[in-house]
Amino acid sequence: MTILVTGATGKLGRLVIASLLERGADPQSIVAGARDVAKAEGLGVRVARLDYADPSSITAALDGVDSVLLISGSEVGQRVAQHEAVIDAATQAGVTKFVYTSAPKATTSDLVLAPEHKATEELIQASGLPSVILRNNWYTENYAADLARAAETGVLAAGAGDGRVASASRKDFADAAAVVLLEDGHIGEVYELGGDVAWNYADLAAAIAEISGRDVTYQPLTADEQRAGLLAAGLDEGTAGFVVALDAGIGSGALADTDGTLARLIGRPTTPLVDGLRSIA
């Protein structure tokens, strides 16, 4: 079985490849798909150029591949077209397992990030590819900037209200992807993946305080307060609006659910919030 990992030089992609190797996968059976192949040379596996904007590169990268992990792209607004190019090529190549990293409750969520994931899931379903959907909750590492800012100022300011987040470390999600790629029995599943504990921003402030050794207070912001602060910090109107909408989604509970599926898949508890933050402090 040959596995292609797209976005292989990204933070998640690198961890997935490392997890596959840790689980005994043959390095020659793993293909790291990357737009810049030079960045993938140190991964210890085969490397193939894969540029979403160049369909011929996707077709070539899929040569001889049985399973694909499509790690969702990072370019908001362009992701559906990019994902569709990989889905179409995988369909033509006769891929027997297609795994996609989606978002929590992608088909029903009001989260501002959900529509592109919903559209991608629909494309996968329409393609007829034997698929597994991994609806990843937030990566704890997403809070690196908040950690640094709050450790310096003693204030964690956000517009998420009392919303809870079932985050886990990227390593946890990478391990889940590796398990699904290597094991049989997952085709057709849609896994809602999250950390074992759903925490709120007061908990996040307490975790930052523990790591930094100083008092940290959570300051809830209204949407208008948050937007004004982001604009004053130099963000453009569109980006500021996106961040405000994202926090509003968190406040409404879009990332709060956790049912232990991630821990069951990886065979261990997920990484606690404090430990995940400490690894990036």
Using CA atoms, how far residue 190 sits from 21, 33, 41, 100, 204, in Å, is 24, 24, 32, 10, 29
46 close to 28: Cβ distance less than 8 angstroms: yes
pLDDT of residue 10: 96
pLDDT of residue 276: 97
Burial 122-145 (b: 16+ CB within 10 A, else e): ebbeebebebbbbbbbbbbbebee
Q: Is the pTM of this model over 0.85?
A: yes
pLDDT of residue 76: 81
Numbers of helices and strands, H then E, in the chain: 11, 9
At residue 218, the 3 state secondary structure works out as strand
- pLDDT block averages, 10 residues each, the chain of length 281: 96 98 98 96 96 94 98 88 97 98 96 95 98 98 96 96 98 98 98 98 98 97 96 94 95 96 98 97 85
pLDDT of residue 75: 83
